Structure 1
């Protein structure tokens, strides 16, 4: 039969490990929720102020964007320029993240989800992925963004 001290030490270690694990899990869950909230705020900003302004605001200064039939667009200034020249009145881009995961260091994350691009005569749907990194102010900024138009144009009635 194990002695009482051995049992107490084992129980103490198990309890300590449980508390550390729970705290870490809670922190990671909070970080995932934080990046999801940021991605949703990014979409809401796009709907209210337009694509160019929202991508500029939420992009890292060295962000990379991949788009169909294009070389990578590098830097938030170039991303804003591209979207400003392509942006037209009454065109709205919104999205909804479906999932987020955060690194154990809690300074990098990714989200993916579905987007909707609405023009006066059509609605297009697709998927996207964004990679996020915390900046020096501890704010999430995307460092990589790519979308797929694989879901295509919605049929009109």
Structure 2
């Protein structure tokens, strides 16, 4: 019994250290997702990072459910804007297979007169590792309404 008590702090510390590195990997995946959106466009980024059972929740519309539906939504949607975001926080389940990130996004677009405008808001993404160990989102949603950066 005493052997197990001696090992317990080591096991707890290893779990905490692993949790931190897993959180870093999830934040990295979210940043790479945003970078792909900036470099290749919203469509390509969302198609690349959507899980098979991924869901998009957007204001004023029904949920977009499943990879194929998200892909169609992205292909049919307006892509005349740039969307980037910055994760502020991430957490991961003890198993390391699911997690979430939240942060701030910025959308840059041109209005009907061709004047560049921007919109900011908050987002949350729930992530799950796929069968290859890559992070894919299973749910993504955002809320507009923050003041534009000046």
Describe the SS at the equivalent of 1:123: strand
Corresponding residue of 2:51: 60
> Counterpart in 1 of 2:119?
124
Q: Name which of 17, 41, 49 aligns with 1:26.
A: 17
Deviations 1:105-130 (A, max 9, x none): 11010100000000132100000000
Larger radius of gyration: 1
Verify the 8 A CA contact 2:87 2:103 in the aligned structure 1.
Answer: yes
SS in 1 for 2:14: helix
- The answer as to whether partners of 1:56 and 1:77 remain within 8 angstroms in 2 is no
Equivalent of 1:145, from 133, 140, 149? 140
Q: Give the match for residue 17 of structure 1.
A: 8
Separation in structure 2 between the aligned mates of residue 133 and residue 88 of structure 1, nearest angstrom: 26
CA-CA distance at 1:155 after TM superposition: 7.9
CA RMSD of aligned residues (A): 1.8
Residue 32 of structure 1: how far off its partner (Å): 0.6
Q: Which runs of 5+ in 2 are unaligned?
A: 111-115
Is 1:130–1:142's contact at 8 Å kept on the other side of the alignment?
yes
Contact 1:66 / 1:145 at 8 angstroms: preserved in 2?
A: yes
Structure-to-structure mapping, 1:46-85, within 5 angstroms: 46-85=37-76
Give yes or no for contact 2:47–2:74 (8 Å, CA) kept in 1: no
Aligned pair 1:105/2:100, yes or no?
A: no
| TM-score, scaled relative to structure 2 | 0.89
- Given the alignment of the two structures, is residue 114 of structure 1 paired with residue 116 of structure 2, yes or no? no
Alpha-carbon offset, residue 39 of structure 1: 0.4
Please, what TM-score do these two structures have when normalized by structure 1?
Answer: 0.85
Unaligned stretches of 5+ residues in structure 1: 1-8
